[in-house]
Chains A and B, each alone.
Chain A
Amino acid sequence: MNRMKRGLVLSIICLAATAILFAVVAWSPAQAQQKNIILSTTTSTQDSGLLDVLIPIFEKKTGYFVKTIAVGSGQAMAMGRKGEADVLLVHSPAAEKKFVAEGYGVNRRIIMHNDFVVVGPAEDPAKIKGTQAAAEAFRKIASAGSLFLSRSDKSGTHSKEMRIWKAAGINPEGQKWYQQTGLGMGRTLNVASEKKGYTLSDRGTYLALKKNLGLVILTEGDAILLNVYHVIEVNPAKWPKVNAAGARAFADFMVSKEVQGIIKTFGVEKFGSPLFFPDAGKKE
């Protein structure tokens, strides 16, 4: 019995020491918490490098510390729904409107746009090159049975893709030529390139990765391919722990003249053309 007791005491001491260790490590970041903003965003703003330019300027200006969590727009809004993010930068308009209508988000403001493009191998087995309408291009891919890679991650790009399939009157789900990666845009482009498949991409990510991809733009310019980014503040009335002031400061920063100017020229030097077009203040 005595042995058991001693073992027990020993293990309690160990656990206590561990707990103290945790507490000490946890102490420093916990103090500065009010200064933290959790920005939940789509992958394209990070993968294109835009946020790497904007965030440091914002932090320097305001003293806030931005924790950028780059996920798909769907997951970003799921985090907002749970009050686990303060501000969202997303590009999935239909889902965004629902998000705001249900009271999870406030003050949805337009930031910028670019467009989606249908990319594929240069050989173009489904012969979609030159097809103006995205839905028509999708129909050709389906009837040729050419490989199409879908992100299938509820991202803004994925929901746009689903809308185009719907416009084409095709349900690709379960078809042999339709593969779902479940990955972000950058990695899905790499998969499409390796497997010589078609995919839908935002222009920004495609241009940023182009040098390593064996993919060319085949369909572009259709109205359905417009890709609009909005900033949404998570509703503090729903989730009191949300850093509302920080979220507002970040959203205001995104629509400011300075940032809109940076967006306008971002990527021109590196990729030869801008990746995004500033839109703040415009109507949709």
Chain B
Amino acid sequence: MDLILDGILKAFYLLITLDPEVLGITRLSLQVSGTATLISLFIGISIGTMVALTEFAGRRLVVSLINTGMGLPPVVVGLFVTIFLWRNGPLGFLEILYTPTAMIIAQAVIASPIVMGITLAAIQALPKNLRLQILSLGATRAQMVWILVKEAKLPLLAGVMAGFGGVISEVGASIMVGGNIKGYSRVLTTATVMETSRGNFDIAIALSIILLLLAYFINLVLTHIQQRERPR
């Protein structure tokens, strides 16, 4: 019990004194996971919408693959991204293993199917007549897609939260492709793992609390945007 209390006190101490190392780690967590989420929104919403609105052979297979991808284990992603980015691997010429960039790529791979799956479900949940209605009013297909995406805004924001939550909290891929390098690729989750193995449980608890606070505030902002409109 004392340990948890110590950890909480330490968390506030580190935050209030603006400890430069902890601030740097926190900033990097936000940057990496934020960028990865943005990329995943791009990929997830575009492909998710496309799959939702088109009929093609093997569609069920694709949908089931996307849904499976929503639970893609971060360590598996980490392993494959590492192998691809090795110096002597297929993408070795990029020379980005053990950089924040590699972490962004891995996290984008993790978050994309999450956003994709939720987009897919959200667009499909819209009334079917809506599409016909919009088209019959003379909208082009691009305009129709845009209106549908706007219409599905609430569940899509839930997708943003799920995607961001998935990557800000993941540790397996980040430690493998980022290497947990001090002052460079160390994020809140990998730092927590390291401090735990160093036996610095108070700092580990402090980092966890900062991570939770961070996740909470991001979600608070997103929820605020999501719930801005009055319930119908």
Q: Is A212 an interface residue (CB 8 A)?
A: yes
Contacts of B104 in A (CB 8 A): 25
Query: Measured between C-beta atoms, what is the minimum distance from A89 to chain B in Å?
Result: 15
The B79-112 residues at the A interface (CB cut-off 8 A) are 86-88, 92, 94-101, 104-105
- Inside 8 A of A209's CB, which chain B residues have their CB? 198-199
- B88 & A83 in contact (Cβ 8 Å cutoff): yes
**Chain A at the B interface: mostly helix, strand, loop or mixed?**
helix
Q: Which residues of B contact A14 (CB under 8 A)?
A: 42-43, 46-47
Contact between B142 and A67 (Cβ–Cβ < 8 Å)? no
The answer for the CA separation of A69 and B82 in the assembled complex, in Å, is 13
Q: Are B43 and A6 in contact (CB under 8 A)?
A: no
- A241 & B87 in contact (Cβ 8 Å cutoff): yes
Q: With contacts A38-B98, A241-B87 known, is A67 near B181, CB below 8 A? A: yes
Separation in Å of the A172 CB from the closest CB of chain B?
24
Nearest opposing residue in chain B for A55, CB measure: B182
Q: Which chain A residue lies CB-closest to B99?
A: A29
From 33 to 77 in chain A, residues with beta carbon under 8 angstroms from any chain B beta carbon are 33, 38, 43, 46-47, 49, 52, 55, 65, 67-70
**Of A16-24, A250-258, A271-279, which stretch is located at the interface?**
A16-24
Is there contact, CB below 8 Å, between A211 and B87? Answer: no
Q: What band does the interface of chain A fall in when counting residues whose beta carbon is under 8 Å from B?
A: 35 or more
Q: Does A166 contact B (CB under 8 A)?
A: no
CA distance A11 to B51 in the complex (A): 11
Contact check, B182 vs A6: say whether CB atoms are below 8 A apart.
Answer: no
Which residue in B87, B179, B198, B201 is a CB contact (below 8 Å) of A67? B179
What residues of chain A lie closer than 8 Å to B101, measured between beta carbons? 22, 25-26, 29
B197 CB contacts on chain A under 8 angstroms: 43, 47, 183-187, 190
Q: How far is the CB of A54 from chain B (nearest CB, A)?
A: 12
A208 touches B184 (CB 8 A): no
Chain B residues with CB below 8 A from A183, complex form: 197
Report how many residues on chain B are interfacial, defined by Cβ distance under 8 Å: 36
In the bound complex, CA of A22 to CA of B38 (Å): 12
Instruction: Scan B180-220; emit 1 where CB is below 8 A from any A CB, else 0.
Output: 11101000000000101111010000000000000000000
Bound complex: CA A186 to CA B201 (Å):
12
CA distance A213 to B201 in the complex (A): 11
Closest to B3 in A: A212
Contacts of A68 in B (CB 8 A): 179, 181-182
| Residue of B94, B184, B198 with highest tally of chain A CB at under 10 A | B198
A18 in complex: contacting residue of B42, B98, B99, CB < 8 Å: B42
The reply to whether the CB of A84 lies closer than 8 angstroms to some CB of chain B is yes
A22 to B35, CA, bound (A): 10
Distance in angstroms from B39 CB to nearest chain A CB is 6
Q: Mark A168-195, 1 if CB is under 8 A from B, else 0.
A: 0000000000000001111101100000
Whether A6 touches B46, Cβ cut-off 8 Å, given contacts A25-B35, A70-B180, is no
Say whether A7 contacts B54, CB under 8 Å.
Answer: yes
A239 within 8 A of B: yes
The answer, among B142, B179, B194, for a CB contact under 8 Å with A6, is B142
B50 within 8 A of A: yes
Q: Which residues of the partner chain B approach A65 to less than 8 Å between Cβ atoms?
A: 184
**B86 neighbours in A (Cβ, 8 Å):** 82, 84
